[in-house]
Structure 1
């Protein structure tokens, strides 16, 4: 890739936008179905003694 200032600025903007998108996803609440599945997995782990 070239090292010209406009390319660097574009890369920085892309980086910032990606960080915003991933942060928003990280902060979003899990759907109820996913929560239920996680609880089922935790219950299975505790029954088999494999809980971490």
Structure 2
């Protein structure tokens, strides 16, 4: 028996497009592809509008708190 050490395969960064991103079960590749497809989807207009409304309300709160105190 030899005490031969196996060198680990280099892990590429997520989304680098490499075939061997990580060692693991086969289902992990499908899950990674699903995640990447969701991340790449554009933000829906309704969600953008909601974020805009939240930003506007925060701006009003900051403006109300910085009034003259004389």
- TM-score between both structures, scaled by the size of structure 2: 0.49
- Note the residue ranges of structure 1 that are not aligned, 5 or more in a row: 1-10
Deviations 1:26-47 (A, max 9, x none): 1100111111011111111122
Deviations 1:7-27 (A, max 9, x none): xxxx62211111111111011
Max radius of gyration: which structure?
A: 2
Misfit runs of 4+, over 6 Å: none
- Note the residue ranges of structure 2 that are not aligned, 5 or more in a row: 1-23, 63-70
**RMSD of aligned Cα (Å):** 1.3
Matched positions, count: 39
- TM-score between both structures, scaled by the size of structure 1: 0.63
Deviation at 1:48, TM superposition (A): 1.2
Task: Please identify which structure carries the higher helix content.
Answer: 1
Equivalent residue in structure 2 for 1:41, among 54, 62, 67: 54
